[in-house]
Amino acid sequence: MSNVYDGVFRTILNDCRKLIIPVINEIFKEEYIGNEEIQFFPNEHFIDQQNAADKERITDTNFVIIGRTKKRYHIECESSLPDGKITIRLFEYDAQIALDEGEITEETLTVTFPNTAVLYLRAYKKTPDKMKYIIITPGGTIQYDVPIMKVQMYSLDDIFEKHLLFLIPFYIFSHEKKFSEYDNNKQKFSELKAEYQSILKRLDELEQQKVIGAFDKRTIIELSDDVVREITQKYKNVQKGMGDIMRGAMIETEAHRIKIENQKKIAIRLLKTGKLTIEEIAECSELSIIEVEQLADLQTV
């Protein structure tokens, strides 16, 4: 997989970690509400090999979500054609994660395998809906499925309705087969740009509703731009046009952040004078009454 896509996946996971929870709910049919604690663990593991140096394996994710119970998850991000090798790598990672966290009591080794899934950025005819582990042991056979999430199967409405904002940087993959057409047909390309403008508008609305913060929104936009630049390298018109939209949105986001900070400074100065009511300060600063009340509470702490 491209190092760019790999980096985007890890960045959004680490910087906007709460966005992974709806993805976990979708893949594993969990019912996390979004305020659960997430603990990350080292991604580097060394696989023991006989008569050879140990191999270092770096997983995309290794984390625990603490809700009513404590569950460990391992999610890998792939953009390549399924060839069977990913299943072997997954099992190696899972076995090493289980060993790293294993417990020995009176010569009894207990290992717990993580809940594992694969997020495929591209879906091919050969891409299955799930993988499977079958482990034959002297004590019996164990088997279980490793679910697959196909990004291209999710429409924009799906993404926003299910709060799968984690997938937005990779949404451009659903248009990949049409890049040549977009590059040579302004009308078709305008439809793609309109779709991305709608994404930016919906992100703005979520920020205004306090569903996501300004940092999360900016990170999603920046990482979307990174993926678009990487995937459209051969299509200069698409790359430039999409880049203008994404970078324009980042400039507007930064301008909005500066405006809000200035409004807060005005409100704080007026609060310190003690001469105006909360309602009057809200009107002067163009903040909401609730935002001014929150600033007032901070001043009294």
* pLDDT of amino acid 256: 63
The mean pLDDT of 165-171, rounded to a whole number, is 96
Q: How many CB atoms lie within 10 A of CB 166?
A: 24
pLDDT for res 296: 84
**Mean pLDDT, to the nearest integer, of 127-147?**
94
Residue type, 10: R
Q: What is the pLDDT, as a whole number, of residue 84?
A: 80
Q: How does residue 57 score in pLDDT terms, banded at 50, 70 and 90?
A: low
Does 55 have pLDDT greater than 60?
A: no
249-269: b (≥16 Cβ within 10 Å) or e = beeebeeeeeeeeebbeebbe
Give the global pTM.
0.79
Q: What is the pLDDT of residue 12?
A: 92
Q: For 260-281, what is the mean pLDDT?
A: 87
Mean pLDDT, residues 205-214: 89
Confidence of residue 56 (pLDDT cuts 50, 70, 90): low
pLDDT(173) > 60: yes
List b or e across 199-215, with b for residues whose CB sees 16 or more CB atoms inside 10 angstroms: bbebbeebbeeeebeee
The per-residue pLDDT of the chain, averaged, comes to 87
CA distance 203 to 165: 9
